[in-house]
Amino acid sequence: MKIYGVRKIKRKEGIGLDNLAVWFENFWEQYIVGPLGRFSLPGDLLDILLLTALFYWVYSFIKNRRAGKLAIGVALVLLAYGVSDIFNMEAFHKIIAAIVSVGIVIVVIIFQPELRDVLEKIGSTPFGFRAIGEKEQAEVTNTINAVVDAAILIAQTDTDGALIVIERTTKLGDYVDNGQRLDAEVSVPLLRNIFVDRSPLHDGAVIISGNRIAAAGCKLPLTHNEEDLKHLGTRHRAAVGITEICNDCVVVVVSEERHRISLANGGVIKLDYNKNVADLKAEESVKLIRNTLRQDLFHLLTNISAEEASRISDRKAQKERKRMLKKAGQLQKKADMTLKHRARRTVSSPKQETEATTDTPKQD
């Protein structure tokens, strides 16, 4: 017991800088020199690459969310825990240790929405990657064109606004149920009529599921980030709110007062595809707004960039061109054979007539 008491007293009287030097020396030998001596090229290299990808994905996931600031707070608590241990700040260290001991439960409670989003994302598609076929891509393109054209027409009016939610892998059945079910084809006239001022369904959101209008007049939750978005209207806050809960859905918003088109996804909103109403009157400006909004929607809904989509389109066009050339070659070959056959018949016909004339007996 005396020995332990002596060691404890010496630890209290130790100099913090000496402890820090010892800590760095142990850290260097244990985590730098030691692992390098046991470095195995295939396994350890793959381990490093996977950890790098995981850390980058976590950083990308939380950087634009409320969890980003909370993660900084957690990191500071862990840093304080390590510093208090190195410099023997026992009272402070005990307080931080008590916090860290229940830290897992606290982290789960604080990061519950983000953890839910992560699990939904992993359960639906691996880290957001999703391949679609040609048929589905064509359907998505038709939906995008209808939504974009309807949004521009609504923005050009004086009294109308719009809130259009496009569902992806995470289902929005709870919000479909609180609206009016339609199960209708996505079209510009229908979207335009739903959001006409004073119509029964114009105040709610339209939810598109499976490239069909599942429901209209749906009520959406508002964002919890009221402080940063207090300058925006209810439609914009609802757009951010639903994308905070359902991370992979995409929302198109048309402001009723300012007539501006915006796009929300992943708890982030991209404002003002058009700066003012005048942008919706010039033909070139409308064309630019339409193309930009289409490209952004296509990228968010398919994970394919505009450049990749262009390359895919070029490859399809080249493939179709080769198919048409091959078919044209086959038709030309068939036509040539038909002409040759007719030419042979034409040449053989006079010979047959001559032979027939020669063989005919003379009559008295």
Between residues 269 and 316, the one the model is more confident about: 269
pLDDT at residue 312 is higher than 90? no
264: three-class secondary structure by DSSP: strand
Place of tokens 């959406």: 220
Indicate the pLDDT class of residue 53, thresholds 50, 70 and 90. confident
Identify whether residues 141 and 106 lie together within a single domain.
no
User: 131-140, 236-245, 301-310: which range is least confident on average?
Assistant: 301-310
Percent of the chain residues topping a pLDDT of 90: 24
Determine the average pLDDT of the residues in 227-250: 87
For residues 148 and 294, the answer to whether their CB atoms sit within 8 Å is: yes
Determine the average pLDDT of the residues in 305-326: 63
Identify whether residues 122 and 141 lie together within a single domain.
no
pTM of this structure: 0.58
Give the pLDDT of residue 164: 96
Question: Which class for 214: exposed (0-12), middle (13-18), buried (19 or more C-beta within 10 A)?
Answer: buried
Question: Which class for 219: exposed (0-12), middle (13-18), buried (19 or more C-beta within 10 A)?
Answer: exposed
Q: Pick the most confident of 50-54, 115-119, 150-154, 349-353.
A: 150-154
Give the pLDDT of residue 8: 41
Identify whether residues 100 and 141 lie together within a single domain.
no
What is the maximum span of the chain, computed from C-alpha positions, in angstroms? 157
- CATH code where residue 297 lies: 3.40.1700.10
Q: What sign for the dihedral angle of Cα 90, 92, 94, 96? A: negative
Identify whether residues 199 and 116 lie together within a single domain.
no
Indicate the pLDDT class of residue 181, thresholds 50, 70 and 90. very high
What domain range is 56 assigned to?
2-128
Identify whether residues 77 and 171 lie together within a single domain.
no
Identify whether residues 114 and 146 lie together within a single domain.
no
Identify whether residues 79 and 165 lie together within a single domain.
no
Give the pLDDT of residue 78: 84
Determine the average pLDDT of the residues in 231-246: 89
The string of pLDDT tens digits covering residues 10-31 is 444 444 566 667 777 777 777 6
- Residues 6 or more apart whose CB falls under 8 angstroms from that of 215 comprise 175, 176, 177, 179, 180, 181, 182, 206, 207
Residue 332 in domain: no
Determine the average pLDDT of the residues in 104-118: 73
Percent of the chain residues topping a pLDDT of 70: 74
| Amino acid, res. 241 | G
Give the pLDDT of residue 320: 67
For the record, the structure tokens of 68 come out as: 């980003």
Identify whether residues 117 and 169 lie together within a single domain.
no
Residue 305 in domain: yes
Identify whether residues 260 and 287 lie together within a single domain.
yes
Indicate the pLDDT class of residue 79, thresholds 50, 70 and 90. confident
Indicate the pLDDT class of residue 297, thresholds 50, 70 and 90. very high
Distance CA(180)–CA(199), nearest Å, equals 13
User: 49-53, 195-199, 288-292, 310-314: which range is least confident on average?
Assistant: 310-314
Residue 231 in domain: yes
pLDDT at residue 6 is higher than 50? no
Indicate the pLDDT class of residue 36, thresholds 50, 70 and 90. low
Identify whether residues 167 and 263 lie together within a single domain.
yes
Residue 288 in domain: yes
Distances from the Cα of 79 to the Cα of 74, 76, 84, 96, 106, angstroms = 9, 5, 9, 10, 17
Identify whether residues 84 and 208 lie together within a single domain.
no
- Residues 6 or more apart whose CB falls under 8 angstroms from that of 99 comprise 77, 106
HSE of 113, CA atoms in CB hemisphere, 13 A:
18
Given 309, 329, 352, which residue is the final one in a domain?
309
Residue 37 in domain: yes
Determine the average pLDDT of the residues in 341-352: 66
Indicate the pLDDT class of residue 348, thresholds 50, 70 and 90. low
Residue 149 in domain: yes
Number of structural domains in the chain: 2
Residue 82 in domain: yes
pLDDT at residue 301 is higher than 60? yes
Given 260, 292, 309, which residue is the final one in a domain?
309
Residue 274 in domain: yes
Identify whether residues 142 and 29 lie together within a single domain.
no
Given 128, 151, 173, which residue is the final one in a domain?
128
